[in-house]
Structure 1
């Protein structure tokens, strides 16, 4: 089985680091031309430079835009009017007790984690339908189904992402365009590593040891008993973005290490 995305263009939001960067790298390695996105131009430029070094001959572009607003989404759409693959990866996360989470934080999480995907999908899906081929991926989370008490605001947005993906898959039925959500579990992204850094320093642990302890204490249902790597998540995303996944649509695809304790 060989994944070949030659001639395809991919937009990966929030891709200057972490899971988004790993997906961008995987897609570029499979032959796609990739548009990197981040809020800050220097981060976008650094990601482009790094990707070009890591993937020889890769076609990489970049657009700096804050996708937490309609204006930011429009800036990306204006810069890249069409794409074959859209990976809605950009997102916010962080613990906050429900009773200490104000309206403006709820609204910020919804704007970034949900509305960016709504706006970009609305802009790009019609072109995919016209061409008879396209892939839209939403980076959801195991927290969509296993909503954490310490991050209810986050879990709710990830449930919304999976619901949005399922609804859009139905809307695009029979067009050759598929829409799916991907549900990572705890993953050694930059954000998670930063969250674990204080614990690691206090206990004299490595980040890897802190990650394993976190999974065993906070996600005890994990079957792999460790965080995933960003590359492990990206591997699934690249497959789902490829022609090989043509019979997979409307699915919530788990790469959660078995955290969600259901068979289906």
Structure 2
């Protein structure tokens, strides 16, 4: 589904619209996010913007300067995944800033906070959680127990709760979504860089999608230049996998939610190119 901002459905005045922007890859991904934020606000009527930025620094990690650039552009909160510590400098931000989270099922001693809350212009707060999957991923603690622990600690009046589940397997993502159905507003997947066409509202009122997709260059292999990836795959000759540069898109998923109940009312996919922004 390739929606321009002008094609987003009208947002009822009593609902809050948030978006999770999928894995930001390299400088092209950071650039289009910064370019898109004003349009997301004014034309898309997006109230809160959350972005997964774990691939922002040349495809692995996040630098302090990139963090500052995203926040200054208007991103409200940042989630991270398995590449969280690829740039060691981000550890300082993780332990001091109030709008960025580590996966909650990392060990307690890992730098960063298990969840964060952001304040909206209407005075209510939104809880942001990141969890890492365990199927085909690095060894981590149980995401189900971590989710229970974090939700128990989250303020009761923080009814809108977004979970970024950073995982490889669709089964892993579906299971956690069913486990959390009715307890969080949305469970939206990241990590695979490929958007899935399974957005839905679960019976308990939780919005769900296996993967919201990649924000970065789509003339690529998961954001990396095609030729060196092909060459290494075919010959085992080692190459550096640089971030590609062409066909840059923002991929994300928006959710309309009821601030009084925390339930999701609507969900939709959004893909933007620079040309879409120029023509809006």
* Fold shared per TM-score above 0.5: no
Normalization by structure 1: what TM-score? 0.43
Normalization by structure 2: what TM-score? 0.41
The structure with the greater share of residues assigned to helix is 1
